[in-house]
Structure 1
Amino acid sequence: MEARFLQIGLGLVLLLAAQHTPAVAIPGPECPTKCGEVDIQYPFGIGDNCSLSSGFNASCQEVQRGVHKPFLGDIELLNISLANGTIREMSPISTYCYNSSGLMHRHTWLFDASHSPYRFSDVQNKFTVIGCNTLAYIYADSTGTGYQSGCVSTCQNLTDLADGSCSGLGCCQTSIPKGMGYYAVGFDSGFNTSQIWNFSRCSYAVLMEAEAFNFSTAYISTTEFNDTNTGRAPVVMDWAIRNGTMSLQCEEAELNKTGTYACLSSNSVCVDSRNGPGYLCNCSQGYEGNPYLPYGCHDADECRNSPCPSEGVCHNTEGGYQCSCRAGRKFSKQSNTCSLDVGLIIGVTAGFLVLVIFSFLGYMILQKRKLTKVKHEYFSQHGGMILFERMRSEKGLAFMVFSEAEIVQSTNNYDRSRIIGKGGHGTVYKGIVKGSMPVAIKRCALVDERQKKEFGQEMLILSQINHKNIVKLVGCCLEVEVPMLVYEFIPNGTLFELIHGKNQALQISFSTLLRIAHEAAEGLNFLHSYASPPIIHGDVKTANILLDENYMAKVSDFGASILAPSDKEQYVTMVQGTCGYLDPEYMLTCQLTEKSDVFSFGVILLEVLTGQEPLKLNGPETERSLSSNFLSAMKENNLDAVLPSHVKGQESNELIRGLAELAKQCLDMCGSNRPSMKEIADELGRLRKLSPHPWVQIDAEMETQSLLSGASIGSFEIEGATSGYPTQEGENLPMNPRSSYYAR
């Protein structure tokens, strides 16, 4: 029983030993590594158990006394290359000769390596034929059914031949395909050289190393019979690990590393054979030696070949090398040179500059933080935080808050050529924002503390006004000491210019002026009735009614505007409005209401009706106020005294009388007796429907077309006109003739 257990244990030990024993034979120290002048490197070997397989077995034979050469079979081995996977051997030359009697002597050879690790190199070998009137064939198998090719060599005159030239005259060469492990030679007997006695009577054919062959005319010029079969020529063979079960490519062979995998070195890589099946082993980059031995690949000393520049020092590393240069110089891997270490010089030189720059940057950062803090204080002071909170809560609010940098850029740093309006308390610039949108930017010179506190709330309300007859507030800039407003750009001047301009050639029709007045009334009605809370304009006048590219009315200038007071006891203590348009009731009570705007609009109706300015500084004191003169004329039933002749001649009495009556109601001394702006807008709409005479209508249409087709309002010379930019104290800003007018 004990013997039985002992047998089982011994069997297990032998099995484990077999599993850990490499299947690939490793040559022992007794195996010779040289024969004559040829190194015999594993997987090749001489003797038993000295090679990887029988196909790599070589013999070392004494060819002369004391001279030994290696042979693979009966073929002399010239050298072995592990890196290239090639060997060089001496291949016999086939001959085809005729003697002087015309008898043929043929010695043809075949070379069969089809069952070995070798294939003829298609890159380094060529089938070479020498002779005159010669056709030789090369066969890739013994049956003659596989690949075959031929080469023809002819001669005409000896002078046609040239040393080193193998192009068909006396010599020809042809390439072979990949994968050939067998070749045989045949000559075509129809090409008889026995009749060409002035040339050699022999022809030669061999598969040989192309680089080792150099044609000589002496091969052809001899006429002596040279029937030998001892000629040899070198041939290059590609070899690979392809014997038996090891005829695998790398991917399959690496899966069998514990079996017959031949790349035993840890620093080796497998490479697929380029000529037939199988694989080769190479040492990894930076290593050299024999990859077929367990520790055969060792670190290559690249420094022995001086890869570094002459002034540099090479340091060998595991699997590579490094170059260094003496102090003050730097190695460049791209150009492999030691150049001046500019970085070190620049570093030392620039140290002080860096210190200065960092100090300067620190100072600039400190100043920038101070500026940012000031801007934030201005932003909060002007109600920016309240504005942002409301903008977040009210979705769809089309209002932009511009930075100071954006405003500076849009006005080209407040260039003088961009000024479209200027006065003692503010300047208006034309700017371009968002790439192409023209805007008018009001840069106020002074804002009092009360306006600063209410600015954010007022901007939020004004930003929600979206009416075709009200100039739209696009946005604002709050991070400056005095807030700046950004309005849409209106190009065609004001209603004041249209009525009172010196250039009378335009002959504005009454119906056009009435239309503009009606549109202005619609805009004011929107402020009073639809804004939440209602907005009182506070400075209604013809200079604050702008005209767009289609001469549509746009109510502007909300600088004097206030929100409708919720507390009836709330009063406005600062004088609002413009002389000639001021509500007398407001002058007594200091309470600004919607009816204050109605009174001012009544003065606008008088300007449309009479063509006169609201206040004349010259002339008798009793005739200076247009509203007083008008009310006196209405009281005396003498309206014709204040009407111009062209209005009396063109318009119907009903229209004139209706408009005068509406103006009279607006100018009532008691605000409660005045109509609302909605009633005024409705009445103006009704009056516009009163058709003028047909010829007057045609003239009005022609006049409107003339306006839209290019009549320039800039041709007016303004006399006593007030601008669309009243200041905080009611001061009027004189404008350039082509200026547009916007709210403060």
Structure 2
Amino acid sequence: MAKRNCPTHCGDISIPYPFGIGPNKDCYFDEWFEMVCNQSSSSLYLRRAQLEVLNVYANGTLRVKNPIAFFCDGYRGQQPVNLSGSPFVYSGRHNKFTAVSCGYLASVSSEKYLVGGCRSICEGTSVSPEDCEIGVNCCQINIPPHLSVISTDIEDDDRRGREDTCNNYAFLVDQVWFRNNFTASDFSHNNDSVPVVLVWSLGVDNTSVAVFHRFMSNDSRAYDDPKPYCKILNATSTYTRQRLVCYCPPGFEGNPYLRNPCHDIDECTDKNICGPLAPHCMNYNGTYTCYRHIDGGKTKIKLILIGLGAGLGLLLLLTGGAWLGYRFLKKRHTIKRREMFFKLKLEKKISSGEVNVEKIKLFKSKELEKSTDNFNIDRILGQGGQGTVYKGMLTDGRIVAVKKSKRVDESQFSDFINEVVILSQINHRNVVQLLGCCLETEVPILVYEFIPNGNLSQYIHEQNEEFPLTWEVRLRIAGEIAGALSYLHVSAAFPIYHRDIKSTNILLDAKYRAKVADFGTSRSVAIDQTHLTTLVHGTFGYLDPEYFQSSQFTNKSDVYSFGVVLVELLTGQKPISFNKSQEEGKSLATYFITSMQLGHLFEILDAQVVKGGSKADIIVVANLARGCLNLSGKKRPTMREVTAELEGIQMSEKTSNGGQNYEEVEYVRTESIEPWDIVSSSTGTGPGLDCGTSSSLNEIPLLPFKSW
């Protein structure tokens, strides 16, 4: 819906406010939202961004034309528009980076960083969406959210590609459009663009806040209030400004930016919305209810129909009480609907014995709202791709961490249920304890024990005079992490693979003991099961190369990720660095292994390690890390063996004066370990660099990324 007396369409494209067509400046919110309509061609453009618009949606997205970059003999094609400073960013949820090439390395970068890459195999000449999904002649990967600058590239890295080196294309594309509409004929020099989805929001300034002040989010609003509400979203690591977004309340629809009441959605138009036990539907303002007839058509649920068959006298007597009861029941019904999905999923897990119900408390939403001061921004402990963690105090005085998901979709529900299932089975001093969950809210909420001293990454990579990471402390923390992983792999009721071990997922409690956290992507396996076959999931720099190639995650994949954390503790360096020279490589694992092979180990160690550890013990730990990083999973130690080795070093340090002399200890002689780096070979989802591979790529070796 556009503003009154403003153009509503350009050809077949509707123009909802805050977008609008001039010359009346009141028709659009600010100059970024001004559009120009070419009447002769019915083409619509964002005037300032100079983008042709294909569709505009009031839900915060719009679809625009995005250039296809054509690469030939060193020529780098047209790149996506730079959106810096605008209210628009490229949608990580709707778009995928796509490369039509084979045998060459295609990559996509943000303004500062490389965010991903892929390579496909050559087979025939056909190109289709199905080919891209399996990595034949075409490959795709997801991009991170909130990027405003994107550049694409296809490199000839001396791999065997097609003889026609000019038939290479790279572009960002709306994955729904690509899956349903793209054909081989679209790959031509004549077709220079494809649709891409942008996310838009209003910038937070005095004007926007003043305009939408009366609609700012109020958790105490009535369930049937049609007034729109707005929220201010804080800046993130990838999105540098605060954003203001507005919504219609649940059960209503309309354009919330017009500052007019939204209108009710009649859910009863969906004939399948009610189940067979209560097949009849009654619509209400903002909600609905299901009921069934008995005894020749008499209704069973009389509370919702009070007064329809009664006389005027009875209505006068019961109006006050019935109205209060009606309001109470409708509000309760809304809460019950939110609970239903979670309960069905959890009940299935409970009935199968996968959830230890004695360990999981069901919290009331009001209890958690009170404990976090209505999820006050001052209570935020941290934010990530999956949600926000708040500090809360329960009525019994316990301090807890309350994790509230950011969005509601199927993957979020699955991660929520999975984390409940996994953590209900775990009882270990070095694993964060799940206290319970809340089923009454629209988004999943989990409640954990409060871990007060942040994560391990902060202490490794930032100066902290209050708690310096001495050699003894690093050795102890490494042993605690290893012990927790050994427990998950061997001693839990079912073997559990964490699948996202990294220093930011290791928390430190009040006594600075390590606590392994974030089990949203973890998986339990049968005792006789050796691996999981999944879409490749992990964080760039920690991802097991063998898992990347085969899509088969084993307990040795966790060992590789632990090896990267161990190298972080030894060197004090980040898993991916953009400050090293090309010769050294960007991967810490590669840099560490290469330095050991060249005899430069003590040149790259952290000063605290060199100062506090004996050379003999340092070399033993370094060789242990090197073993964990072996490209062959079969040749890596188990976490039980790693734990035993670290405990042995700790014991020897307590009972000796430094162990053997440096000259008496030699490096472990193993076969050469190549400095490989990881690049996706197909599609991916999830935090960090998540990527997926198809079984057809299992025979293709993981190749070094020479440009790093």
Give the TM-score taking structure 1 as reference length.
0.43
Mark the structure with the bigger radius of gyration. 1
Q: Which has the higher contact order (CA 8 A, sep 6+)?
A: 2
Give the TM-score taking structure 2 as reference length.
0.46
